[in-house]
Chains A and B, each alone.
Chain A
Amino acid sequence: AQSVTQPDIHITVSEGASLELRCNYSYGATPYLFWYVQSPGQGLQLLLKYFSGDTLVQGIKGFEAEFKRSQSSFNLRKPSVHWSDAAEYFCAVGALGNAGKSTFGDGTTLTVKP
Chain B
Amino acid sequence: DTGVSQDPRHKITKRGQNVTFRCDPISEHNRLYWYRQTLGQGPEFLTYFQNEAQLEKSRLLSNRFSAERPKGSFSTLEIQRTEQGDSAMYLCASSLQGAYYEQYFGPGTRLTVT
Contact = CB atoms under 8 A, between A and B. Distances in A.
Contacts of A45: 105
Interface string A30-53: 001010100001111110010100
Interface stretch (B12-20, B40-48, B65-73): B40-48
A103 interface: yes
A103 B107 CA distance: 19
Interface residues of A, number: 25
Given A44-B91, A90-B42, A102 B103 contact: yes
Interface residues of B, number: 29
Contacts of A34: 102
B41 A99 contact: no
A101 B45 contact: yes
Contact of A106 (B41, B98, B104): B41
A104 B95 contact: no
B100 A104 contact: no
A11 interface: no
B42 A92 contact: yes
Contacts of A92: 42
Interface in A87-102: 90, 92, 96-97, 99-102
Interface of B: 4, 31, 33, 40-45, 48, 50, 55-56, 91, 93, 95, 97-108, 110
Given A99-B56, A100-B48, A102-B103, 5 more contacts: A51-B100, A96-B99, A99-B50, A100-B98, A104-B42
